[in-house]
Every structure is written in structure tokens, then in C-alpha cells.
Amino acid sequence: MNFVVVDLEWNQAMSSKSSVFNKLPIRLRGEIIQIGAVRLDENFAPAEEFRVDIRPVYFKRMHFKVKKLTGFNKERLSQGVSFIDAIEQFRNWCGDDVTFLTWGCDDRGIMEQNIIIHDSDWDWISAWVNLQVIFNAQIRGDKNQKSLATAMEHFGIEQTRVAHDALGDAYNTALVCSKLDLQEGIKNYEKSLLAASSSRKTRSATVCENPEPILHDSLIDYPSKGALLADPAVAEMTCPICGSAMKSSRWVNQGDQRYINIFNCPEHGKELVRLKFRKSEDGSFFASRLVYLAGEEMLSFYTSKSSKPKKRGSKRTMSNKEAKQAV
């Protein structure tokens, strides 16, 4: 298992009435301008470090509060790389089988929104742990949200890195990890998460309300993509929660071997299915599949992608019937 502490800095719209804010396919709460991360070693102590500045394309004007907190200005951001380049660098640095550790819930939601709006691959960011939950469980304190500064003070950790810098905050969080019984905390994480969500008051403070996949599996050994899409386990899939038969919409090709579809469960409502195709050395196809209970943002994103005008020669959406015929 590969544990990476991650922290993000992001810019936000000047106002909810901003024209760019209302033209986006999803309600983007923040556009990432910096990623900072620290890999933990086998003793859960800080090891390798990563940082990259990102040039925004949606919220180009720095919000005055963000500028004051981070010290970022327009000139510095203009020197950053694109989000696509940054996330590719970050993914390569993280490696495989990664679990992200964050202080709180916000970073995960912002990361997912930015990956969605940039139409990037997200099947590698499914594992997240909110360290606030583990901290609260192990210090036997109340279930309210604790700041990183509070945790550092509790463990007597001196702050030697700049606050509100993505790498600085990630490093300080990694120091807190080294003081926790992280192995035990991760082992009991689901139990601690359930305890933290036992009341409406604490749920908003410590429990991430960003979508968790309800299914994450692999589909292997198919002669073609059409054969995989036509497999009843894919084309006529049942709800991962209740097993009910679901009706599907159309598969939308996002490019880079990625497809999305909306299935409708009579019990649990709409579910978004994402497939990431790959080709084996022997020529057969396989895909990773992620299924989410589709919230408003996911539905809006699917609608925007499925309704885009098709360029001449581009691949259009594919129904399940057409997928069967493609075998």
C-alpha cells in the first residue's frame, strides 16, 4: 500500500453570479492552483515530497481572500503548468495502489471536481482517508472538526513550514501522521467514520459527503471493446446495492479509452458508470469500472458530454444495442 498525504490550494470565483461560474458544466467550488504531497515511509513518517503550481483556466482572477492566504498572485500563476500536465506528473509520482490522506474533506471534493471538469481519468483516486476522523478517535476527544494547528499543538509539533502552502501543509500533516497510530487508525477507519456520522451535527464536520464509489471492479479478457460493452454484466448490469435490474442511457466516449453512462435503479435512482479501457499484451481488452450514485454535478456533466455536437469523423455515443452489434 502506498500512502500519500496531499494538500491542495485553489482559487475560487469572485462571485456566484460570475458569468464563467454559471457557464461551467458542473458547479466548480474551486480551481486547483497548487498540489503538495508527502509520501509516507514504512514507519508512516514523512519521506519524498512533491509540489507543482497550476495555471488556472476558469478562475483566472485571484480572489482577494485566496491571494491573502496563499501569497499567490497572477504573475506566479502564469508560470504554472496546465492541470492536465500537473495531474499526470502527480499520478506518475504517486505510483500504483495509492491511498490519499487528507486533513478534512475539502481536498477530495475539489480534486474530483477538477478532474471531472478537465475530462481527465479518475479511476486511480478512489481511496481517501480523512485524518480528522482518526485523530478524534485516538485522542478520545469530541467529534467536532479539529484544525491541523490544533493537532500539531496536541502533539507538540513545531511548525517549520509555511502555512497555506500546499507542500507546507502536507508536510505538517505528515508529521501528525507520524504521531498517530496510523496502522490501527486505518484498520478501524470505517468504524470510526460510522461513529463520527452518528449525528447530523458531527456529520457535516467530519464526514466527507463527496461521492464514494459503490462498486470498483475490473472486467477482463474480452476480444474487443464492443464485446465488453455487450456483456450482460455491463450492458444489463444490476444495482450494486440492491441487485435490481437497471435501465441504461447511452455510452459516451470521452476519448483516451474512457466511457461514461447513466443507469437508473428503481430503488436507488441514477448511477453513473465509468469505464477505462486498456489492452493487454495478448491483444485482449479489459476495463476498470467505477459506479457512483449520481448527484447533480455528475448528471450535469454527463448531459453536457452526451449533448456536445459531434465533429466530422469523431466517435458518437453508443447505445447498448449498438454495442452488441459491434461484437
- Of the three residues 206, 233, 254, the one that is the final residue of a domain is 206
Beta strands 128-130 and 98-102, pairing class = parallel
CA dihedral of 36, 115, 122, 136, whole degrees rounded to 10: 50
Which of 138, 172, 206 delimits the end of a domain? 206
Phi/psi region, residue 257 (left: phi>0; alpha: psi -120 to 50; beta: rest), is left
pLDDT of residue 204: 43
Q: Which of 65-69, 78-82, 201-205 has the lowest mean pLDDT?
A: 201-205
Q: Give the model's pLDDT for residue 319.
A: 53
> What pLDDT band is residue 19 in, cutting at 50, 70 and 90?
low
Residues 85 and 222 in one domain: no
| pLDDT tens per residue, range 39-73 | 999 999 999 999 999 999 988 888 888 888 888 88
Which domain does 255 fall in, by range? 215-325
Q: Check whether residue 199 and residue 230 sit in a common domain.
A: no
pLDDT level of residue 314 (50, 70, 90 thresholds)? very low
State whether 22 and 158 are in the same domain: yes
Let me know whether 149 and 264 are in one domain.
no
Residue owning grid cell 492552483: 33
Q: What is the pLDDT of residues 152-193, one digit of tens each?
A: 999 999 988 888 899 999 999 999 999 999 999 999 988 888
Q: How high is the pLDDT of residue 207? A: 53
Q: Across residues 216-229, what is the average pLDDT? A: 87
CATH label of the domain that carries residue 62: 3.30.420.10
Query: Model's pTM, two decimal places?
Result: 0.70
pLDDT at 232 > cutoff 80: yes
pLDDT at position 78: 87
Same domain, 54 and 106: yes
Average pLDDT, integer, range 130-138: 92
Last residue of a domain, one of 206, 228, 253: 206
Q: How many domains does the chain have?
A: 2
